[in-house]
Amino acid sequence: MAKTTGNKPTAGGSLSDQKSEIRSMLPSVLGCTILLLLGIVLGMCKYPVVIPVVLFFLGLHLWFFGKAKVRLFINLGFLIAILIFGVDVINSYPHVTPLYIPVASFTMLTMLLFNDLQLVFMMSFIASTIASLMTGSPISFMLTFFLSGLTGAYAVRGARTRGRLITAGIYVGLIQVLCALLLNPVVTPATFELVIKPLLINGFICFFIVVSTLKIFETIFGEVTNFTLLELADASSQPLLKRMITEAPGTYHHSLIVSNLSEAAAEAIGANSLLARVGAYYHDIGKMVTPEYFTENQLVSGNKHDDLEPSMSRLVILNHVKEGIELARKHRLNQKIVDFIPQHHGTGLIFYFYQRALEEANGQGVEEENYRYPGPRPQSRETAIVMLADSVEGATRSLQEHSSSKIDDVVRKVINNRFIDGQLDECNLTLREIELISSTFSRVLTVMYHGRVRYPEKKTNGHHNKKSPDENSHPPASS
Ligand SMILES: [Fe+2]
Ligand SMILES: [Fe+2]
């Protein structure tokens, strides 16, 4: 945060202020210019020039809701441009009824790509209004496509199978027919042929358009849908997960537990549970580069860090984030998955090695900042959940006793430490959601460890392995 000195701004400061002001105005100027050009083009093509005004209010609405991101404007504008082009093409064939225009497919795509009900509502209104204005159709046309657009979007919400998309297409067709019947209850063979049949077929056209173009839009827009997330979760086909199973089995097992915890917590607070689960699978892929330096992969061999200076251990631990990002980029993982790699540690402290460095240097010349991860801190609810699940998993794994109350104590202490450290400051989690996440973690972990404590091992002459430091390196829950 910039310090307020109360001094007059310097000449350099006012210049940079002006520059940043111009920069912040640039998207608005660019948007208005595009809308003006669109109005001119539509006017030249004899289409209603009110369309750019409608789009202007769409932009204004997004602005007021704090969603005014240039990329989102471009993506939605691209979809609307395709709609305008498609309607223009259909208009050039006078014998084709506009009832075949797959307006609902645009709202279905918006829902699958952005998973945002507000955007869907706006897109449904905009798409049906534009199609109605450009084809010179009555208000009933606009109303029918507005309602079918909403129906299609609600039907594909959270879809993970193609079956859901087919069902959505059928719903779209049926709602359109229902609207047509409510607007004109008298059905003759002519109205069946000219209205009912095209509206039913329209639902199937919507389904085909969504299925055939979803992957293309996903790639162009850089978004990740549930279908891609499911592909990424398949360990038998994803090279990174396959490699982790053989090269860092302990890390793979740790990632599975973190993913289970994250999925349950995300579901509890209504976040994207599939994104949280898949993000957790990939959050520690960087450990595959030097797996033997991480607790979960150290079996009977000694702790590799015993022979290293704390400053060297710090480098190895920090490196798993850097290596992870590089591996993810190399395998072209979506940015939304890559985000989990740096954000699951945020700017957290590598506590264990920081303490060791302090002890060895008698508290002299050891900068805390050097023992912190580079960040950024979690920017979404899903990355924050994975951060907390990761910390909680490490802390409960090292417990001697896994009773329900002990687990609950540790979970609360670990989450509280993260909260006090400011790691949850940028992720929009509310206190109520943090409480829900905490109770979900306790419940899942209690059930998970319940089976283990019921089967005590036979006493042998074996020895306990020396505890290795955990890469999470939060303050030990018991301290
Ligand atoms: Fe990690
Ligand atoms: Fe982890």
The backbone torsions φ and ψ at residue 160, rounded to the nearest 5 degrees and listed phi first, read -125, -5
* Residue 153, pLDDT above cutoff 50: yes
Q: Which domains does the chain have, with CATH numbers?
A: 48-223 (1.10.1760), 233-453 (1.10.3210)
Of residues 18 and 436, the one with the higher pLDDT is: 436
- Tell me which of 2-11, 56-65, 86-95 is least confident: 2-11
Cα distances from 440 to residues 324, 385, 422, 443, in angstroms, run: 28, 11, 22, 5
Report how far ligand 2's centroid is from the alpha carbon of 470 (Å).
9
Report how far ligand 1's centroid is from the alpha carbon of 84 (Å).
47
**CA-to-CA distance for 418 and 373, rounded, in angstroms?**
13
C-beta separation of 377 from 422 below 8 A: yes
Q: What is the pLDDT of residue 247?
A: 92
> Which among 285, 470, 287 is positioned nearest to 396, based on CA atoms?
470
Ligand nearest to the CA of 389: 2
Encoded amino acid at 274, one letter: L
Q: What is the pLDDT of residue 55?
A: 78
* Residue 466, pLDDT above cutoff 60: no
Q: How confident is the model at residue 13 (pLDDT cuts 50, 70, 90)?
A: low
Report how far ligand 1's centroid is from the alpha carbon of 344 (Å).
7
Percentage, residues of the chain above pLDDT 70? 89
Ligand nearest to the CA of 257: 2
Report how far ligand 1's centroid is from the alpha carbon of 318 (Å).
9
C-beta separation of 285 from 341 below 8 A: yes
**CA-to-CA distance for 28 and 59, rounded, in angstroms?**
9
CA angle 63, 64, 69 (to 5 degrees): 25
Report how far ligand 2's centroid is from the alpha carbon of 404 (Å).
23
Q: What is the mean pLDDT of residues 22-49?
A: 74
**CA-to-CA distance for 301 and 290, rounded, in angstroms?**
15
Report how far ligand 1's centroid is from the alpha carbon of 271 (Å).
22
Ligand nearest to the CA of 394: 2
**CA-to-CA distance for 139 and 179, rounded, in angstroms?**
12
Q: 280-335 pLDDT, tens per residue?
A: 999 999 999 999 899 888 876 677 787 788 888 999 999 999 999 999 999 999 99
Report how far ligand 2's centroid is from the alpha carbon of 254 (Å).
7
Q: What is the pLDDT of residue 6?
A: 40
Report how far ligand 2's centroid is from the alpha carbon of 396 (Å).
13
Ligand nearest to the CA of 373: 1
Q: What is the mean pLDDT of residues 234-256?
A: 93
How many helices (DSSP H) and strands (DSSP E) are in the chain? 20, 0
Three-state DSSP at 137 gives coil
The backbone torsions φ and ψ at residue 349, rounded to the nearest 5 degrees and listed phi first, read -90, 135
- Tell me which of 73-82, 94-103, 272-281 is least confident: 73-82
Q: Other C-beta atoms within 10 Å of 2: how many? A: 4
Ligand nearest to the CA of 341: 1
Report how far ligand 1's centroid is from the alpha carbon of 18 (Å).
41
Ligand nearest to the CA of 390: 2
Percentage, residues of the chain above pLDDT 90? 55
Q: 326-384 pLDDT, tens per residue?
A: 999 999 999 999 999 999 999 999 988 888 888 888 767 788 888 999 989 999 999 99
Report how far ligand 1's centroid is from the alpha carbon of 320 (Å).
7
Report how far ligand 2's centroid is from the alpha carbon of 472 (Å).
7
- Tell me which of 109-113, 369-373, 452-456, 461-465 is least confident: 461-465
Report how far ligand 2's centroid is from the alpha carbon of 322 (Å).
14
Report how far ligand 1's centroid is from the alpha carbon of 262 (Å).
15
Report how far ligand 1's centroid is from the alpha carbon of 272 (Å).
21
Q: What is the mean pLDDT of residues 161-186?
A: 92
Ligand nearest to the CA of 346: 1
Q: What is the pLDDT of residue 330?
A: 95
Ligand nearest to the CA of 261: 2
Report how far ligand 1's centroid is from the alpha carbon of 345 (Å).
6
> Which among 155, 205, 144 is positioned nearest to 180, based on CA atoms?
144
Angle between helices 381-397 and 249-269 (to 10 degrees): 130
Q: What is the mean pLDDT of residues 449-458?
A: 60
Report how far ligand 2's centroid is from the alpha carbon of 284 (Å).
5
Residue with tokens 């090279």: 239
Report how far ligand 2's centroid is from the alpha carbon of 450 (Å).
22
C-beta separation of 339 from 311 below 8 A: no
**CA-to-CA distance for 11 and 7, rounded, in angstroms?**
12
The backbone torsions φ and ψ at residue 165, rounded to the nearest 5 degrees and listed phi first, read -70, -40
> Which among 311, 339, 315, 313 is positioned nearest to 325, based on CA atoms?
339
* Residue 213, pLDDT above cutoff 90: yes
Q: How confident is the model at residue 461 (pLDDT cuts 50, 70, 90)?
A: low
Mean pLDDT over the full length of the chain:
86
Ligand nearest to the CA of 471: 1
Report how far ligand 2's centroid is from the alpha carbon of 432 (Å).
25
**CA-to-CA distance for 273 and 259, rounded, in angstroms?**
9
The backbone torsions φ and ψ at residue 237, rounded to the nearest 5 degrees and listed phi first, read -120, -10
Ligand nearest to the CA of 287: 1
Report how far ligand 2's centroid is from the alpha carbon of 390 (Å).
5
Q: What is the pLDDT of residue 14?
A: 66
Residues 6+ apart with CB under 8 A from 57: none
pTM assigned to the model: 0.82
Buried b / exposed e along 26-55 (16+ C-beta atoms within 10 A): ebeeebeebbeebbeebeeeebbeebbebb
Of residues 105 and 453, the one with the higher pLDDT is: 105
Report how far ligand 2's centroid is from the alpha carbon of 372 (Å).
16
Residues 6+ apart with CB under 8 A from 456: none
Ligand nearest to the CA of 344: 1
Report how far ligand 1's centroid is from the alpha carbon of 433 (Å).
23
Report how far ligand 1's centroid is from the alpha carbon of 471 (Å).
6
Looking at 188-248, list the stretches that DSSP marks H as alpha helix, in order from N- to C-terminal side.
189-191, 197-221, 226-232, 239-247
**CA-to-CA distance for 295 and 316, rounded, in angstroms?**
13
- Tell me which of 33-37, 135-139, 144-148, 406-410 is least confident: 33-37
Q: 116-150 pLDDT, tens per residue?
A: 898 999 999 999 998 998 888 889 999 999 999 99
Take residue 201 and report the two structure tokens written for it. Answer: 């077929």
- Tell me which of 167-171, 361-365, 403-407 is least confident: 361-365
Report how far ligand 2's centroid is from the alpha carbon of 431 (Å).
24
Report how far ligand 2's centroid is from the alpha carbon of 149 (Å).
41
